[in-house]
Structure 1
Amino acid sequence: MDLAEKTCIPCRGGVAALDRPKAEELIQQVPGWSLDSEGKRIVRCFCFQNFLEALAFVNRVGELAEEQDHHPDIKFGYGYAEVWIHTHAIGGLHENDFILAAKVNGLEQAAD
């Protein structure tokens, strides 16, 4: 099943974070995203024409995060939004992170 079609399942901890080989496999399914140097978070920077476009995108990501009960870290400003995703409860990556990334990619495509 395509990652964007899945739903995040709440992770309360007690499971192991994905190892780097599995994370590298899943990152291939979310174009534009990269693993951080430690393989514990994924990140993507989105570019926009102005501050209002960036803000609107951040708000859509926030709504999506609430729907999925999975919350990224977001930094944004004039013309950009940087989204960092990991599973706080396990201090690393979980399949949920890649599901959310795929859904965020869908937001970008819907805006085009």
Structure 2
Amino acid sequence: MATQQELAGKSCEPCRGGIPPMDRAMAETYLVQVPGWSIRPDPDRLERDYRFSNFREAQHFAMRVGDLCEAEGHHAEILYGWGHCTVTFWTHKIKGLHENDFIMAAKVEGLMDEPYAPVSESMGDVSPTARHR
């Protein structure tokens, strides 16, 4: 079984559907490679809630997750608010889990190792006063 770093080093393969989702026993063997994540039912999906000290950090993380998903072509459900960001993966075409979901979870874990950079530094000043020029 691959380690978290090995999973993170993989790229998502396009899933065209027509295959069964990963069974729960197999999913649980992958789950140990992405500590902190859990499997939620109906459909089986991989989920983790991350905690932050404020809204801005949670928003910044959500945006980085979104950019990663777009780059990999495997998209998450992302819910964030003050001090938290919940990331959920499942493969919609097969209505369940695929190795790609675990690859993405491992990649998201890597984002937590990157330092926080305020939006004004990473994307230009987006404050309300900056818009009134």
TM-score higher than 0.5 here?
A: yes
TM-score normalised by length of structure 1 = 0.95
1:80 corresponds to:
84
Moved over 4 A (4+): none
Contact residue 43 and residue 95 of structure 2 kept, 8 A: no
Q: Is residue 35 of structure 2 the alignment partner of residue 34 of structure 1?
A: no
Find the structure with the greater CA-based Rg: 2
Residue type of the partner of 2:78?
I
Shift of 1:111: 3.0
Instruction: Tell which deviates more after alignment, 39-48 or 70-79.
Output: 39-48
TM-score normalised to the size of structure 2? 0.80
Identity between Structure 1 and Structure 2 (%): 49
1:67 to 45, 51, 71: 71
- Report the Cα distance in structure 1 between the residues aligned to 2:81 and 2:105, rounded to whole angstroms: 20
Q: How many residues align?
A: 112
Tell me, yes or no, if the aligned pair for 1:18 and 1:93 is still in contact at 8 Å. yes
Name the SS for the 2:78 alignment partner: strand
Greater relative CO (CA pairs within 8 A, separation 6+):
1
